[in-house]
Amino acid sequence: MGKSISYFGLVAMGVGCMLGTSWLLLTGTWLETAGGPLNLAVAFLLCILIELPFAFAYMEAIPMLPLPGGEVVYSCAAFGPRGGFAVGWAGILMNSIVFCWVDLAAISLLDALFPVLGESMVLYRTGEFAVTLPNVLLQLALAGGILWVQVRGANVCASLAKFATVVLLVMCAVGLAICIPHFDPAVYATDGGMEFNFSGSAALLSLLVFSVAGWETVSKAAADATGPAARKAGAALITCLLLVTGLLCLVSTVVAGCMPWTEAVECTAPFADVLVGITGVPAVRVLLLGTAFVGAVGVMNSTLYSSAQMLYGLAKFAMAPRAFGQLHPKYGTPVRSICFAAALVLVIPFTGKLFFLPLINIASLATIVMWVMTYAAVLRLRRIRPDLRRPVSMPGGRITAVLGAAASIFLAGNLLLPMSPGGLDGLEYALSALLAGVGVLLYLGRDRSVSRQEQEKLIFGDALRR
């Protein structure tokens, strides 16, 4: 598919997948879920500590097996085809759900800029949410535009990611530079802002897994990276994780220091409202909403790329129907995988915001499966494939291994146990089971003529002869 993505392209695709609209639209939700800014800050700190062992595992895995499919390759090598498919389908679900969720969020931004879009030509209502014809058409058109970019090739995807990333980082930096001098500790502490409650931090942690996911996109893009960039893919991944998580925490903290957090909960875009209050320029809100829309486009671009790459990897290694491994005759892109990964967006516009929060939690579950399986695959491959070349070893040695195991148990328990603050509800369990069933059907349609030995040859290629 061509080695065309630079180091900055890798960082841009990771940051573009992570930053998106959350820095503007989710601050109020995070503060409400956490129950205050101190609980929010603790949740972000825990998020970094919990995700670092998984990111370190990716650092070892990427240069060891820099092949299309990312996590599919790592888990299949360690646990066989079923393990590879399980993590691959989890990755496809996570990225496809984020693609659809951000498509919906992007239209919500347009509704905020042009309220008539969400009020005119109402088709019907799903619960309290109105489904309007302009919104449905805009969602489908936006998704179609991103699909067209994907078909054109990895270099076009990376170019779009670079543009979106630069715009987002510049606007975040400018906004923070304006807000930080106005930070007031007394405002931060109002309404119990300095009262710590671990259950609030734990509840928010489930949402943060979804919100800061995306750094693993680098593992898929590494297969399309140029030589120097491919060797630094692990560093690009860590850069994405620390940079974006730090920015999101800083934006939320600044908001809570300039506006009582209980007021921020009621705002659609608290960061924009704070800036409008400081500058006295209402146009700032429009500018930030427009910037967030650019971020949404960047996220859709990166997540659809990741989802299609994972499905392409499954097909290439005979774990999904062979048709998904076919490439476009002109652009050399897996066009059928791209279309399948984007198919869910044909349904979501007609549901309004009914599945807004359930989709977040299902995506979080899929993300945890993907991270934990990759982490476990790296440890297992050390034992069963010691012959594989490992240019980079997972930093931290046994300490990282222990922390990774503890993080795996904590994340799984926090989301799956009914008594947990971040546990799934009945609807989310049902949707998860339905989507898992779709994955089983996909696996049953794989190319059964390929033997296990042939699969291993396809997966490893030259890696076994290094």
pLDDT tens-digit map of 60-95: 888 888 776 678 888 888 888 888 899 989 988 888
- Top mean pLDDT of 39-48, 231-240, 306-315 is at 39-48
Residue 158 pLDDT > 80: no
Q: Residues 14, 236: contact at Cβ < 8 Å?
A: yes
Written as one string, the DSSP assignment of 353-389 is TTTHHHHHHHHHHHHHHHHHHHHHHHHHHHHH-TTS-
Q: At 183, give phi and psi (nearest 5°).
A: -65, 130
Q: Please, what CATH class does the domain formed by 7-465 belong to? A: mainly alpha
CA distances from 447 to 8, 321, 339, 397, 442 (A): 37, 6, 20, 39, 11
Rg (CA), the chain: 21
The count of residues in the chain is 466
* Mean pLDDT of the residues in the chain: 81
Residue 460 scores a pLDDT above 70: no
The larger pLDDT score, comparing residue 374 to residue 216, is at 374
Mean pLDDT, to the nearest integer, of 141-150? Answer: 84
Task: Check if the beta carbon of residue 319 is closer than 8 Å to that of residue 88.
Answer: yes
Are 57 and 49 in contact by the 8 Å Cβ rule? The answer is no
Structure-token pair, residue 423: 């546990």
More confident residue, 225 or 148: 148
Q: Residue 152 pLDDT > 60, yes or no?
A: yes
Q: What is the pLDDT of residue 257?
A: 92
Q: Is the pLDDT of residue 353 over 80?
A: no
Would the pLDDT of 233 be above 50?
Answer: yes
Determine what percent of the chain is predicted with pLDDT higher than 90.
Answer: 10
State the helix-helix crossing angle for 198-211 and 356-384, rounded to 10 degrees.
80
The residues facing 131 across adjacent strands are: 124
pLDDT score of 155: 58
pLDDT in the model for residue 1: 44
Contact 305, 216 (CB under 8 A): no
Q: To the nearest 10°, the Cα dihedral for 333, 334, 339, 342? A: -80
Tell me which residue has tokens 């919906």.
104
Q: Indicate the pLDDT class of residue 229, thresholds 50, 70 and 90.
A: low
Provide the pLDDT for residue 421: 66
Does 151 have pLDDT greater than 50?
Answer: yes
Task: Give the per-residue pLDDT at 391.
Answer: 80
Distance CA(234)–CA(351), nearest Å, equals 38
* Residue type (1 letter), 30: W
| % of the chain surpassing 70 pLDDT | 89
Structure tokens at 85: 């498919």
Higher pLDDT, 150 or 435: 435
Tokens of 455: 């699969």
pLDDT of the residue at 466: 47
Domain ranges of the chain: 7-465
pLDDT band, residue 258 (cuts 50/70/90): very high
Alpha-carbon distance values, 380 to 80, 82, 324, 385 (Å):
12, 15, 29, 8
SS3 helix, strand, coil % of the chain, rounded to 5?
75, 0, 20
Residues facing 5 on adjacent strands: 225
Q: Which two tokens stand for residue 444?
A: 């049953």
Out of 144-148, 162-166, 214-218, 312-316, which region has the weakest mean confidence (pLDDT)?
A: 162-166
- Which residue bears the tokens 């062979």? 322
pLDDT at 220: 67
Give the residue among 213, 412, 443 at the shortest CA–CA distance from 318.
443
**Model pLDDT for residues 8-36, shown as the tens digit of each residue:** 777 777 776 777 777 777 888 899 989 99
For residues 220 and 40, what is the distance between their CA atoms, to the nearest angstrom? 31
User: Amino acid identity of 233?
Assistant: A
The DSSP secondary-structure symbol of 309 reads H
User: Tokens 């109002």 sit at which residue?
Assistant: 190
Residue 430 backbone class (left: φ over 0; alpha: ψ -120 to 50; beta: rest): alpha
Concatenated DSSP letters of 94-158: HHHHHHHHHHHHHHHHHHHH-GGGGTSSEEEEETTEEEEHHHHHHHHHHHHHHHHHHHH-HHHHH
As a whole number of Å, the end-to-end CA separation of the chain is 22
* pLDDT (0 to 100) of residue 160: 63
Distance CA 376, CA 354 (A): 35
Other C-beta atoms closer than 10 Å to the C-beta of 384 total: 11
- Using the predicted structure, report yes or no on whether residue 417 has a pLDDT greater than 80: no
pLDDT at position 235 over 60: yes
CA–CA dist 255, 381 (Å, integer): 45
Separation of alpha carbons 355 and 358, rounded Å: 5
Determine the pLDDT at residue 260: 92
pLDDT of the residue at 254: 93
Task: Tell me the pLDDT tens digit for each residue of 163-198.
Answer: 777 777 888 888 899 999 999 999 999 888 898 888
Contacts with 94 (C-beta within 8 Å, 6 or more apart), sequence order: 213, 363, 366, 367, 370
Least confident of 17-31, 295-309, 347-361, 392-406: 347-361
Residue 333 near residue 2 (C-beta atoms within 8 A): no
Q: What is the pTM of this model?
A: 0.78
Banded pLDDT at 121 (limits 50, 70, 90): confident
Query: What's the pLDDT at 231?
Result: 67
